[in-house]
Amino acid sequence: MRTSPSATFTSTGTPCFYIHPVEAAHGDLGLVGEEDVVMFISKSGMSDEFRQLYPSLGRLKVPIIAMTGNRSSFLAEHSH
């Protein structure tokens, strides 16, 4: 059985929730506030979804943490 990263954080008492990137682009990003941190996990770091969400995340001024297998990817270069 696999456990989601958000379930792991929640089990430690750290408030956390998962948003699918497509759903985030269609309104769920409204759940993210200035006090939040966004974590992306992507093998390639080159997903179109992240590229589409990046401008909105910039406007929210939230820190972005990346876990990716590609250090020269768009995701890696645009995370904190």
Residue 45: the pLDDT is 93
> What is d(CA 24, CA 77) in angstroms, rounded to the nearest whole number?
21
Burial of 16 from C-beta contacts in 10 A (0-12 / 13-18 / 19+): middle
Residue 3: band (very low, low, confident or very high) from pLDDT cuts 50, 70, 90: low
Place of tokens 């995370």: 79
- pLDDT the model gives residue 20: 86
Contact present, 70 and 44 (Cβ < 8 Å): yes
Q: Would the pLDDT of 1 be above 60? A: no
Average pLDDT over residues 27-40: 91
pLDDT exceeds 60 at position 4: yes
User: How far is it, in rounded angstroms, from Cα 27 to Cα 22?
Assistant: 9
Q: What is the pTM of this model?
A: 0.81
Tokens encoding 30: 């409204």
